[in-house]
Amino acid sequence: MAGKAGEFGPWQGLWLMLGYVLAQLLGNALPYVVWGVGVGLDAELHGPPAVRPHPGDGVLAWAALFGFIISALWLIFYVRRRARPLLRQGDARGIAWCAPRQHHAYAVAAAAALAAMLFASLMVAALPPDPDRLTGPLSRLLSAPGWPRFTVLVLAVGGAPLVEELLFRGALFAAVARRWGVSPAGVITTAVFMLLHVFDKIDWWPGFVVVGMLGALLVLLRVRYRSLWPGVFAHFLYNSSLFFIL
């Protein structure tokens, strides 16, 4: 049974985020558990290997895929159960899963994405990352050949814009804004957005600045057009550009 809209506030936003993170960790862990069981069974049947095995990029790709799917399912389940009446409500107290009324919203979103791309390019040029220190999951999968790179391409370009906009600028933003207002909601959701990219940005600190700028632009699009879809479009364009910037 769907929860009442009035019950959806910061506490519900906290539970939403905790469930999302735990679901992602669970999904990430499953392929490694399966891989470890397989290695153990192989050692029992054929004896210990001469070289200690390590999970490769294929296992990491499965971990990214399972983590994405399980956390996305949790997000959809929680929003539908706790905040369904808010889904198509476009003001700051709603989730704004609705089309913008202004047709030029997508042109502005493209311009915002271009600004974020240029800023990211300038940061890379001014403070270039050390490729040998980029050990985060995204960096590893981007440099991997074959289907692991294809997997991260699909997730980053096709999946993340939809899921992350519904999560950060949609449900979490509404949960905070309903109690504390628009500005705190923008600051908190952008900070959490940056924090959840820590594993990919920890080896290159300017990445946090880039993610923060992108998050701020996406909040502005969400508030200005009372819709998540311009942000989804901008997020899609920006994530697509990462495969050429980095």
What is each CA distance from 113 to 21, 116, 127, 198, in whole angstroms?
Answer: 26, 5, 21, 21
pLDDT given for residue 2 in this prediction: 53
* Residue 238 one-letter amino acid: Y
Mean pLDDT of 150-154: 89
Which residues, in sequence order, are CB contacts of 14 under 8 Å at separation 6+?
none
CB of 225 within 8 A of CB of 92?
no
Work out the number of other CB atoms within 10 angstroms of the CB of residue 190. 22
pTM assigned to the model: 0.92
- Checking if the pLDDT of 228 tops 90, the result is yes
Work out the number of other CB atoms within 10 angstroms of the CB of residue 14. 13
CB of 2 within 8 A of CB of 82?
yes
Q: Report the chain's mean pLDDT, rounded to a whole number.
A: 91
Of 20-34, 36-50, 167-181, 206-220, least confident by mean pLDDT is 36-50
Mean pLDDT of 51-55: 81
Contacts 24+ apart (CB under 8 A), 97-101: 97/166, 97/170, 97/228, 98/226, 98/227, 98/228, 98/229, 99/227, 99/229, 100/225, 100/226, 100/227, 100/229, 100/230, 101/225, 101/226, 101/227
User: How far, in Å, CA of 129 to CA of 30, rounded?
Assistant: 31
User: How far, in Å, CA of 14 to CA of 66, rounded?
Assistant: 22
- Checking if the pLDDT of 14 tops 70, the result is yes
Write out the two tokens for 71.
């956390």
User: How far, in Å, CA of 241 to CA of 7, rounded?
Assistant: 39
Share of the chain above pLDDT 90, in %: 72
User: How far, in Å, CA of 214 to CA of 230, rounded?
Assistant: 13
pLDDT tens, residue by residue, 15-31:
999 999 999 999 999 99
Is residue 1 very low, low, confident or very high in pLDDT (cuts 50, 70, 90)?
very low
Tell me which DSSP letter residue 47 carries: -
Mean pLDDT of 124-128: 92
- Checking if the pLDDT of 140 tops 50, the result is yes
